[in-house]
């Protein structure tokens, strides 16, 4: 890869092994609700993820990071069963996800895709209500439980005031909260998010991340793919670093986000300092050229 | 973000599914379209060479009237109206299904050569190898071959509507060439009857035609309606649909199969009437302003379109009835041109 990789490879790998075994089950000792077992993922002939095993700790806010093309979104798609693995399988609550009924899975696992298609002319309330589909039957299409779930989801994401507005008229940040509300209306305890802040400006991105943090505090297990390392380090409870389709390191952000790892995974020389707001690791890229005297 | 925790839970009261107003509008559009179809149908029963007043028609329908009146109404005009309404409904639903699957108005049975394919199959069964298979089965086989050709020829399945149109034009042209060849070889008597398969016509329809397309509608419409919500979810993208527990590939396949069956049934009784399947769902969508495939409203609108167009075709030039397909072709062709220009701009932008 780059010259930085070779220099730091050994130390990172060593640190990684210890962290991995330590977090096989969640902090409370509960079994991992979502497990990737020896996954090999490929598009046609191009293998993106090879023989990857990963456990999502119960109750965690797990964030997957890594450079472009490392397979993090592909991994998330496999976890959300929108991509069929070439080999290996995904276990949801201990059972292979592919063997479970699609609607049953949808009552336990929700997904916020990276770029969902907004149907023409749909209103906010109507879109959020579609999240209730897995809970409905042909002859009983709408219930008080559905109405309550939709109301709660719109309240949590603060889109209740927009209920009758067409989704197409909303700003990017509002639209993202509406799609999140739809996923919340599914009332699952697992929520997967594929780069939920990518198209948002910094204020809206922070707003969405704060919302996710609150959903996590309320007891949901979240798995997100994020681009922004500092966002990941600030909000994650469990960080997974991916490179070339392999897990390079995982564990609490403070253990994973180190200068050596960022150089190894992203090929970026940097300094890692404590975030003045939260104390979590903050990645500050170095300028190329002569190093400053005092580090 | 601060007001978040204090927002009250939704108040008690009658629980309405969101989109209530939209659904009410959809029902209104459907009912309105059926009223239009009924009015046009009544016009069809009363007008013509043998002019009848409404009370006379009522008498005939009640079992009275003269022999000539009974023949004209019961054996000629009524089956014609019924075939028009049912075939229009089938085409409207088929169009809405395919437009939903392709997420594009251009993905319609008539634009992608499905109707012409069915006509070629019908012509083959009726003229080239008479007696080999019944005409409706021929239409189904033709439609099946056409959709397969489009699916394979576009290279990306149903993912690229614009490619489907280009391939569909070629498939449609070949199918029509086949129909014309079949006509050229046929005896004059046969050819007159089968000429309808080029333009689409409701002339000389009988109760067996009503039975055929009616049975298809009765059997296939419930299946299509059951597919309506999953189709609406698949319109949000494969990932969203999967996350909600809907397998997108299965839903798409089911939608295409139903569209092929409905198109074949309609074409078997009235030929490839142009552009009803293209325009009916679009007209319905403009009126209902609803999200989702809108199958029921599209079906009702299709029924109204075909019955009204048939009246226009018969009465526009007094004494010279035209095949209904000429009228729908002229109107729908203009709309198709508009869609193609819009799509072309979007593609090259």
**B166: nearest Cα among B106, B99, B92:** B106
Classify the phi-psi angles of B270: left when phi > 0, otherwise alpha if psi is within -120 to 50, otherwise beta: alpha
- A64-73, A180-189, B177-186: segment of lowest average pLDDT: B177-186
Q: How confident is the model at residue A135 (pLDDT cuts 50, 70, 90)?
A: very high
pLDDT tops 80 at residue B32: yes
Q: What is the chain A residue with the closest CA to B286?
A: A121
Mutate to test the interface with B, among A82, A92, A128, A179 (most CBs of B within 10 A): A82
CA distance to partner chain B, nearest, from residue A272 (Å): 30
For A102, which of B17, B246, B289 is closest by C-beta distance?
Answer: B246
Q: What is the tens place of the pLDDT at every residue in B136-159?
A: 888 889 999 998 998 888 877 776
Cβ–Cβ contact B225 with A under 8 A: no
Structure-block tokens of residue A60 = 């965690």
Structure-block tokens of residue B6 = 């204090």
Beta-carbon contacts of B155 under 8 Å, excluding residues fewer than 6 positions away, are B163
Mutate to test the interface with A, among B1, B11, B18, B251 (most CBs of A within 10 A): B18
Domain holding B90, by residue range, is: 29-46+66-348
Q: Cα B5 to the chain's mean position, in Å?
A: 51
Set of chain A residues whose Cβ sits within 8 Å of the Cβ of B239: 77, 80, 82, 111, 113, 116, 194
d(CA A129, CA A8): 50
Q: What is the DSSP letter of B93?
A: H
Q: What is the tens place of the pLDDT at every residue in B264-295?
A: 899 888 888 888 999 999 999 888 888 888 99
Average pLDDT, chain B: 85
**pLDDT of the residue at B265:** 92
**pLDDT of the residue at A24:** 43
Inspect the interface and report whether the beta carbons of B245 and A142 lie closer than 8 Å: no
**pLDDT of the residue at B23:** 83
Between residues B21 and A230, the one the model is more confident about: A230
Contact call for residues A167 and A45 (beta carbons, < 8 A): no
Cβ–Cβ contact B239 with A under 8 A: yes
For B244, which of A134, A143, A148 is closest by C-beta distance?
Answer: A134
**pLDDT of the residue at B6:** 40
The DSSP code sequence of B182-210 is HHHHS-HHHHHHHTHHHH---TT--HHHH
Q: What is the tens place of the pLDDT at every residue in A79-108?
A: 999 999 999 999 999 999 999 999 999 999
d(CA A211, CA A235): 11
**pLDDT of the residue at A221:** 96
CA distance to partner chain B, nearest, from residue A21 (Å): 30
In whole angstroms, how far apart are CA B336 and each of A24, B107, B275, B330? Answer: 59, 11, 8, 10
pLDDT tops 50 at residue B13: no
pTM, two decimals, is 0.85
- A4-18, A19-33, A38-52, B225-239: segment of lowest average pLDDT: A4-18
CA distance to partner chain A, nearest, from residue B221 (Å): 16
Q: What is the mean pLDDT of residues B170-186?
A: 86
Inspect the interface and report whether the beta carbons of A158 and B242 lie closer than 8 Å: no
Residues in A 190-219 with any Cβ partner in B closer than 8 A? 194, 207, 210-211, 214
**pLDDT of the residue at B195:** 66
Cβ–Cβ contact B137 with A under 8 A: no
**pLDDT of the residue at A63:** 96
Structural domain count of chain B:
1
Contact call for residues A177 and A159 (beta carbons, < 8 A): yes
Q: Count Cβ atoms below 10 Å from residue B202 Cβ, excluding itself.
A: 30
Structure-block tokens of residue A88 = 């290996």
With respect to residue B14, please indicate whether it lies within any of the assigned structural domains. Answer: no
Average pLDDT, chain A: 86
pLDDT tops 60 at residue A265: yes
**pLDDT of the residue at B339:** 79
The torsion angle over the Cα atoms of residues B299, B46, B273 and B215, rounded to 10 degrees, is 50
Set of chain B residues whose Cβ sits within 8 Å of the Cβ of A207: 1
Q: Are strands A246-251 and A238-243 parallel, antiparallel or unpaired?
A: antiparallel
For A121, which of B9, B15, B291 is closest by C-beta distance?
Answer: B291
Cβ–Cβ contact A30 with B under 8 A: no
Set of chain B residues whose Cβ sits within 8 Å of the Cβ of A150: 18
Domain A3-108+188-285 grouped into CATH 3.40.50.970 = no
Domain ranges of chain A: 3-108+188-285, 118-187
Residues in A 81-120 with any Cβ partner in B closer than 8 A? 81-82, 101-107, 109-111, 113, 115-120
Q: What is the tens place of the pLDDT at every residue in B291-337?
A: 888 999 999 999 999 999 999 988 888 878 888 888 888 888 888 88
Q: What is the mean pLDDT of residues A192-219?
A: 91
Q: What is the mean pLDDT of residues A139-151?
A: 85
**pLDDT of the residue at B345:** 80
Q: How confident is the model at residue A4 (pLDDT cuts 50, 70, 90)?
A: very low
Q: What is the mean pLDDT of residues A202-227?
A: 93
For B240, which of A104, A113, A214 is closest by C-beta distance?
Answer: A113
Classify the phi-psi angles of B133: left when phi > 0, otherwise alpha if psi is within -120 to 50, otherwise beta: beta
Q: What is the chain A residue with the closest CA to B103?
A: A119
pLDDT tops 60 at residue B110: yes
């Amino acid at each position: 890869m780059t010259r930085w990789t070779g220099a730091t490879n050994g130390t990172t790998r060593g640190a990684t092994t210890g962290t991995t075994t330590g977090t096989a089950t969640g902090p409370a000792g509960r079994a991992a609700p979502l497990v990737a077992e020896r996954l090999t993922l490929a598009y046609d002939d191009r293998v993106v993820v090879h023989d990857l095993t990963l456990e999502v700790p119960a109750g965690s806010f797990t964030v997957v990071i890594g450079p472009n093309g490392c397979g993090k979104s592909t991994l998330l798609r496999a976890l959300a069963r929108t991509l069929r693995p070439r080999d290996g399988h995904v276990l949801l609550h201990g059972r292979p996800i592919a063997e479970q009924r699609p609607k049953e899975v949808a009552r336990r696992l929700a997904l916020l895709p990276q770029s969902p298609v907004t149907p023409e002319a749909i209103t906010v309330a109507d879109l959020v209500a579609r999240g209730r589909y897995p809970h409905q039957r042909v002859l009983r299409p709408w219930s008080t439980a559905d109405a309550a779930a939709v109301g709660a989801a719109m309240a949590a994401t603060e889109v209740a005031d927009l209920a009758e507005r067409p989704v197409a008229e909303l700003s990017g940040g509002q639209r993202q909260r509406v799609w999140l509300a739809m996923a919340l209306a599914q009332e699952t305890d697992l929520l997967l998010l594929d780069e939920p802040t990518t198209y948002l400006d910094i204020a809206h991105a922070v707003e969405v991340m704060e919302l996710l943090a609150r959903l996590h505090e309320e007891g949901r297990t979240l798995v997100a793919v994020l681009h922004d390392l500092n966002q990941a380090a600030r909000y994650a409870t469990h960080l997974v670093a991916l490179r070339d389709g392999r897990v390079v390191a995982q564990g609490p952000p403070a253990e994973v986000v180190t200068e050596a790892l960022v150089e190894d995974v992203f090929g970026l020389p940097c300094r890692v300092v404590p975030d003045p707001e939260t104390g979590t690791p903050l990645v500050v890229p170095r300028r190329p050229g002569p190093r400053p005297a005092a580090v | 973000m601060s007001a978040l925790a204090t927002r009250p839970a939704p108040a008690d009261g009658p629980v309405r599914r969101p989109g209530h107003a939209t659904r009410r509008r959809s029902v209104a559009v459907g009912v309105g379209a059926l009223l239009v179809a009924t009015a046009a149908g009544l016009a069809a029963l009363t007008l013509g060479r043998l002019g009848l007043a409404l009370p006379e028609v009522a008498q005939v329908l009640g079992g009275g009237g003269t022999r000539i009146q009974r023949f004209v109404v019961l054996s000629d005009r009524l089956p014609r109206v019924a075939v028009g309404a049912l075939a229009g409904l089938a085409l409207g639903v088929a169009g809405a299904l395919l437009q939903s699957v392709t997420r594009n108005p251009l993905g319609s049975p008539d634009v992608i050569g499905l109707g012409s394919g069915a006509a070629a199959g019908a012509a083959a069964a009726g003229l080239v190898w008479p007696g080999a298979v019944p005409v409706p089965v021929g239409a189904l086989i033709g439609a099946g071959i056409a959709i397969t050709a489009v699916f394979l020829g576009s290279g990306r399945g149903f993912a690229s509507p614009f490619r489907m149109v280009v391939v569909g034009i070629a498939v449609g042209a070949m199918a029509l060439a086949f129909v014309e060849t079949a006509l050229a070889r046929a005896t004059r008597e046969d050819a007159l009857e089968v000429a309808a398969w080029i333009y689409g016509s409701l002339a000389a329809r009988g109760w067996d035609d009503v039975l055929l397309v009616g049975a298809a509608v009765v059997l296939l419409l419930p299946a299509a309606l059951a597919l309506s919500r999953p189709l609406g979810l698949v319109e949000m993208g494969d990932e969203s649909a999967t996350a909600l527990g809907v397998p997108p590939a299965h839903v798409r396949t089911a939608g295409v199969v139903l569209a092929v069956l409905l198109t074949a049934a309609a074409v078997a009784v009235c030929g490839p009437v142009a552009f009803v399947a293209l325009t009916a769902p679009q007209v319905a969508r403009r009126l209902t302003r609803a999200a989702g495939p809108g199958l029921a409203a599209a079906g009702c609108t299709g029924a109204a379109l075909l019955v009204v167009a048939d009246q226009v075709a018969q009465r526009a030039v007094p004494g010279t009835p035209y095949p209904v397909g000429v009228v729908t072709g002229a109107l729908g062709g203009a709309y198709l041109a508009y869609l193609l220009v819009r799509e072309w701009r979007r593609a090259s932008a």
